[in-house]
Amino acid sequence: MLLPLCYMTVLPERMPLRHSSLRWTIPTGSHCRAGTVLAFCNLGLAWGVDSYLAPLMHEARDLQLAFVLQHPGQVHYARDPAGGGQMDHSVWAHEWVPHNEFGQLETAAPPSGPLLRALIVAGRRVSELAEVRDGLLTGWHARKRAWWPDAHDPGIVVAALGSCEVTSIMYGERPGMLDLLDGAAGGSQLLVVPDIAAVPCARTTLEQMRRTEAERQAIAADMASGLLGIAGVLEPRDWLMAGAIQATLLASPLLEPCPMLLRSGLSLPAGPAAVVMSLHAEPVRVFRHRRLGYTLALYDYRLRDLGEGLRQWLVRAFEPVLRSPEDIRADFAALLAALRGGPVRRVLLANMFSSAINDDLPGYAGLDEPLSRTIGTVRAKETNLALASLATEEPNLAILDIDAMAAYLGALRAIPDGMHVAGELQSLVQQDIRSLLAESGLWTLAAF
């Protein structure tokens, strides 16, 4: 049987909606499973000065809608004579008309429900100059979000503060974060804040939450004067990096609004109900501002990429601070205490890989103590133990035991380069996230 694939009503009629032409992710005639993203488009909304849509303004240029297939079959799509070219990117190309047919699904079995489900994604760019619309939720974003609009009330928001393995786990293999979001109740939202410049460790996250407007202005003014003092040797890449660092310092991902377009209209959830973090975002060395006292965490590879001018600013303005596993434990205890009583009901913490596939150290006799300062695998084991003990005291903290999962699969299979997770390990961690959210009563397993 041939069934029509049509646009649907995704937003209230009072909200005029325009869109680009559809961009298909599969060739016509493809046999597709349920959960496949068939096509997507960019959305255009009426952005008036007094518009109640103002909370979405910073994501207006990267607001997209995807059609997700809910029933398997062979997909045939109709050619849009007004599509292609710049029409695939222009948000004002077409008026959204529900029930207009754009393709067909050929299937032997009748569907038990709707053929399609709408998914909305949004990205807030690090800079409006970072114009990348090649795919679904592509580009250089300070945060990425995805949610189902087919609800009258918002579900929960699950926020992830990157390091790279956490962002990879949240993004998943399918576009639009569907690996985790597929099957979830309407209104459920995933929010990812990647480590684009500064590292979102527990200490910096807590400082972001506590920072006053006066302190933010002081940080911005100090950076401006400090950078201008060495402007003669600053390279263009230094200015870009400095801007990204400042934007991170002045934001607070766990306090920022997460506005959602739902079938009932614009919704403003109270904030994340669950947060995913990683011990790999807890470097041994952080930097403390000599005058203002705030913390900046940067990966070593980011430090190596700095130009000479920005490196000079870092040396002049900051002092290095070395942290032990117990220091990191104390930072998380303080963060959990600050979150207590707020909307965040669960913190999921991915632990560290504590084995190295190329570790050939014959002995520890010639090394200074504590060994955690010089041997990464020792530091990882001690840090994992410190946070595991904290989880026994803090009911809102749960450990995503990536270390044990990697050991179960085998390090070469789970972490082939010794640093980044492979697909099989990524899937196991995603399952653990779903289970821990279910145990917390935030999402039920049946929703997946």
What is the model's pLDDT at position 362?
65
What is the model's pLDDT at position 398?
97
Confidence of residue 447 (pLDDT cuts 50, 70, 90): very low
CATH for 411: 3.40.50
88 and 16 Cβ atoms separated by less than 8 Å = no
Give percent of the chain with pLDDT exceeding 70.
Answer: 93
With respect to residue 31, please indicate whether it lies within any of the assigned structural domains.
yes
**Which residues make Cβ contacts (< 8 Å) with residue 39, sequence separation at least 6?**
22, 23, 24, 25, 66, 67, 77, 102, 103
202 and 335 Cβ atoms separated by less than 8 Å = yes
Among 95, 121, 147, give the residue marking a domain's end: 121
* Residues 89 and 206 grouped into a single domain: no
Confidence of residue 282 (pLDDT cuts 50, 70, 90): very high
With respect to residue 101, please indicate whether it lies within any of the assigned structural domains.
yes
Residues 119-130: tens digit of each pLDDT? 999 999 998 888
Which of 174-178, 303-307, 415-419 bottoms out in mean pLDDT, i.e. has the lowest?
415-419
* Residues 84 and 206 grouped into a single domain: no
* Residues 105 and 207 grouped into a single domain: no
68 and 182 Cβ atoms separated by less than 8 Å = yes
Among 65, 92, 121, give the residue marking a domain's end: 121
**By three-state DSSP, how is residue 310 classified?**
helix
In this predicted structure, the answer to whether residue 184 has a pLDDT above a threshold of 90 is no
In 101-227, beta strands by DSSP E? 101-106, 116-125, 141-147, 157-161, 189-193
In this predicted structure, the answer to whether residue 37 has a pLDDT above a threshold of 60 is yes
How confident is the prediction for the chain on average, in pLDDT?
Answer: 90
In this predicted structure, the answer to whether residue 113 has a pLDDT above a threshold of 70 is yes
In this predicted structure, the answer to whether residue 55 has a pLDDT above a threshold of 90 is no
With respect to residue 58, please indicate whether it lies within any of the assigned structural domains.
yes
Highest mean pLDDT range out of 82-86, 314-318, 442-446?
314-318
- From residue 187, alpha-carbon distances to 134, 230, 342 in Å are 26, 48, 20
174 and 35 Cβ atoms separated by less than 8 Å = yes
pLDDT mean over 202-213: 97
Residue with the bigger pLDDT between 43 and 184: it is: 43
For CA atoms 226, 231, 235, 236, give the dihedral sign. Answer: positive
HEC string for 7-66: CCCCCCCCCCEEECCCEECCCCCEEECCCCEEEEEEEEECCCCCCCCHHHHHHHHHEEEE
**By three-state DSSP, how is residue 385 classified?**
helix
Confidence of residue 285 (pLDDT cuts 50, 70, 90): very high
Count: domains in the chain = 2
149 and 186 Cβ atoms separated by less than 8 Å = yes
* Residues 207 and 78 grouped into a single domain: no
With respect to residue 430, please indicate whether it lies within any of the assigned structural domains.
yes
Q: Give me the domain span that covers residue 33.
A: 2-121
What is the model's pLDDT at position 384?
96
Tracing tokens 């008309």 back to the chain, one arrives at 97
Highest mean pLDDT range out of 154-163, 341-350, 357-366?
341-350
Local structure of residue 370 (DSSP, 8 states):
P
With respect to residue 232, please indicate whether it lies within any of the assigned structural domains.
no
End-to-end Cα separation, the chain, in angstroms: 28
What is the pTM (predicted TM-score) of this model?
Answer: 0.92
Confidence of residue 54 (pLDDT cuts 50, 70, 90): confident
pLDDT mean over 37-55: 83
Where are the alpha helices (H) located in 345-393, listed in sequence order? 376-393
Among 91, 121, 151, give the residue marking a domain's end: 121
* Residues 116 and 206 grouped into a single domain: no
What is the model's pLDDT at position 400?
96
What is the model's pLDDT at position 116?
96
With respect to residue 422, please indicate whether it lies within any of the assigned structural domains.
yes
Residues 74-103: tens digit of each pLDDT? 999 987 777 888 888 888 899 999 999 999
Residue type, 106: E
In this predicted structure, the answer to whether residue 373 has a pLDDT above a threshold of 80 is no
* Residues 206 and 100 grouped into a single domain: no
With respect to residue 105, please indicate whether it lies within any of the assigned structural domains.
yes
* Residues 257 and 115 grouped into a single domain: no
- From residue 217, alpha-carbon distances to 51, 250, 408 in Å are 28, 9, 49
* Residues 275 and 377 grouped into a single domain: yes
412 and 357 Cβ atoms separated by less than 8 Å = yes
Residues 213-258: tens digit of each pLDDT? 999 999 999 999 999 888 677 888 899 999 999 999 999 999 998 9
With respect to residue 303, please indicate whether it lies within any of the assigned structural domains.
no
Confidence of residue 418 (pLDDT cuts 50, 70, 90): confident
pLDDT mean over 417-440: 90
What is the model's pLDDT at position 360?
62
* Residues 264 and 371 grouped into a single domain: yes
